[in-house]
Each structure stands twice: as structure tokens, then as C-alpha cells.
Amino acid sequence: AKEPMRVLVTGAAGQIGYALVPMIARGVMLGADQPVILHMLDIPPAVEALNGVKMELVDAAFPLLKGVVATTDAVEACTGVNVAVMVGGFPRKEGMERKDVMSKNVSIYKSQASALEAHAAPNCKVLVVANPANTNALILKEFAPSIPEKNITCLTRLDHNRALGQISERLNVQVSDVKNAIIWGNHSSSQYPDVNHATVKTPNGEKPVRELVANDEWLNTEFISTVQQRGAAIIKARKFSSALSAASSACDHIRNWVLGTPEGTFVSMGVYSDGSYGVPAGLIYSFPVTCSGGDWTIVQGLPIDKFSREKMDATAQELSEEKALAYSCLN
């Protein structure tokens, strides 16, 4: 039998946490043969709710779940973890300045970076979900210098999956037959959902999405804005932000990272830019990646047209501004 893996979920008493921890305990994230020990962190005002989640995990009697740590102590939460999913953060409240929200999250990610660096298992893989996800991940990287930068990522897989979902609805095909959409850039409304390389499996082989949709106008306008604005549409409908889809996509992100992507398939991950595709190095930017042996690699050599270039640059620009804002909060 495999040794259990320790998985940290911060903000575990929140909405996404409530959807995510049962998926992890069911093997959705790391595989149906991989035992897990869950480490759940939240803050003192949420401690009762956190303990309630722990009670439910016990009550669910998950065969793969070998232990649960529920705590408000970051050091205890981070100790020995192999995977860290950072969902906890300070939400933007009405009337708050961007800078004030950034400043709260910078201080959270600075201190949790130190706890992870000092106490996580070697080679711990980190996924930041909490917004501003790319910039929180960048702060975490900055303040955990001994964690390799390739181990620090942020979630744009939800946006990627939303793009696949929109194509599947439009063409009335199974979502599992659609692949290789790309989310470039920031997990914000400046992201660029790109279907220029996406394909659909048909009885006559793989066909480009552009050929099957045969409506460039829709692909270049409504498709893009629907994916960019989907988070807001969910809030409007549900009165709460996306939770089950965020949790499921976080599982997809880690599962592909640890266990690999299928041959010929790429997925979107927010990763540390090395300057690929002319994206400034030193940003956490969403790229198309393949994963193998526990490492991601940016897909190289995709042709980029002028329309795409402009949108990729605009979202990079927004990330550079967020980075500057975050650094201004450090002083």
C-alpha cells in the first residue's frame, strides 16, 4: 500500500474548502489508490466551522482518509505537507480600495510562505487559489526562496475548464472530447481565453474548434467575454462565488501536475514566467503546459496571431501593475 500524502487546504472552513476536502478524501485529486492525510487551516473566527468540517470528514468514513489535522496554527498546518492548496485569503469587501485588499493578502501570503518554507515536505507542490491568485503566488514565491519556483503555481484551470464547457455547449459535443483551450495571463477579467489551438474529437478524427464553430465573430467576442465574466455570472445566480467548480478544477490542476497530462493534451496553469511567448519573466502568468514526472513544461512554438498578441500583452501589463502594487505594500 502507498504511504499517505499530506495535503494542506488553507481557508478550509470556507465555501471552496467545503467542496474541496471531500474530493481530496475521495481520491479525486491524487488518485483512487492514494491514501491522504488532510491538513486544514483557518483563522480563529472560523474555528468552530472548521471543527464542524472535521466532524463531517470523520462521519463520511472515507476509506482513503488516514487522518485529519484541523488547526489555526500555520506551522502545525504546514508541517510535512506534500501538496499545499492555498484557498484562504482576505476577500474584497464593498467600498474597499484595491490597495487595502492587496496589502492584507500580501501579509497573509508572506507569513504562510515562511511557514511552508520551514515546515513543508521537500518538493512540496503549491497551488494558490485565493485572489488575486497570480500575485499571491508571486508573493509566496518571493518569501519562500528555498522552495523551487517550479513548485509554486496558481489556479487558472477553472477558467480553462469554463472555456471547454462553452465550446462543448456551443457545438453540442461532450466536454471530454474538447481539449487544448488556453488561458493566457491573469485569473481576472483581463485573461485571454484562446481557442486557436483547441480541437474536438469527432468520428472523423480531431478537428480544430475554429473549423467546427465556423463563426469567428462569436469566438472572438461573446465566447471570450463569457469565459472572462463567468465568475461574476455565478455570483449573480447563486449569490455566492464559484465553489464546486473551483474545487474540482483545483483537483484537476494537482492531479495533472502529479500524475501527468495525457499525450497530446495541454492544460492551463499559472506558472513562473521564463519569458516564453514574450511574456515578461518574473510574473506568475497562465500558460499552456504539459506535465510529466511531477513537473510542468510550457508548450513551446504555438503560432500567435496579432489579435492574440494584443490580448496576451494586455493581461501581462495588468499583472505587472498588480506586482508593483503588491511590492508597494511591502514597504
Taking CB positions, which residue lies at the least distance from ligand NAX?
A: 14
CA angle 96, 11, 154 (to 5 degrees): 80
Site membership for ligand NAX, residue 23 (CB under 6 A): no
Tell me how far apart the alpha carbons of residues 114 and 111 are, in angstroms, rounded to a whole number: 5
User: What is the 8-class DSSP label of residue 4?
Assistant: P
Find the binder of ligand NAX among 7, 9, 14, 268 (CB under 6 A).
14
Tell me how far apart the alpha carbons of residues 242 and 232 are, in angstroms, rounded to a whole number: 9
Location of C-alpha cell 488518485: 31
Site membership for ligand NAX, residue 167 (CB under 6 A): no
Which CB atom, from 93 or from 306, has the smaller least distance to ligand NAX? 93
Which CB atom, from 127 or from 200, has the smaller least distance to ligand NAX? 127
| 49 CB-side CA count, 13 A | 13
Query: Looking only at residues 283 through 312 of this chain, which bind ligand NAX when binding is defined by CB under 6 A?
Result: none
* Phi/psi-derived region of residue 286, left when phi > 0, alpha when psi is between -120 and 50, beta in every other case: beta
**Closest listed residue to residue 235, CA positions, set 245, 225, 250:** 245
Which CB atom, from 35 or from 88, has the smaller least distance to ligand NAX? 88
Which CB atom, from 87 or from 147, has the smaller least distance to ligand NAX? 87
Site membership for ligand NAX, residue 15 (CB under 6 A): yes
Which CB atom, from 10 or from 34, has the smaller least distance to ligand NAX? 10
Site membership for ligand NAX, residue 252 (CB under 6 A): no
Q: How many residues does the chain have?
A: 331
Site membership for ligand NAX, residue 13 (CB under 6 A): yes
Site membership for ligand NAX, residue 16 (CB under 6 A): yes
Residue window 181-200: x/- pattern of binding to ligand NAX, with contact defined by CB under 6 A: ------x-------------
**Residue 247: all three cell numbers together:** 474545487
**Residue 38: all three cell numbers together:** 488532510
Query: Looking only at residues 112 through 141 of this chain, which bind ligand NAX when binding is defined by CB under 6 A?
Result: 129-131, 133
Active site residues: 187
DSSP3 helix / strand / coil % (the chain, rounded to 5): 45, 20, 35
Find the binder of ligand NAX among 7, 87, 163, 198 (CB under 6 A).
87
Residue 228 near residue 191 (C-beta atoms within 8 A): yes
User: What is the 8-class DSSP label of residue 264?
Assistant: T
Min dist. Cβ of residue 134 to ligand NAX (A):
9
Which CB atom, from 133 or from 152, has the smaller least distance to ligand NAX? 133
- Select from 85-93, 178-186, 209-217, 315-323 the region that touches ligand NAX (CB under 6 A): 85-93
Tell me how far apart the alpha carbons of residues 282 and 260 are, in angstroms, rounded to a whole number: 25
Phi, psi of 295 (to 5 degrees): -125, 150
Min dist. Cβ of residue 195 to ligand NAX (A):
19
Residue 36 bridge partners (DSSP): 5, 65
Residues in contact with ligand NAX by the rule CB under 6 A = 10-11, 13-17, 41-43, 46, 87-91, 108, 129-131, 133, 155, 158, 187, 231, 241-243, 246
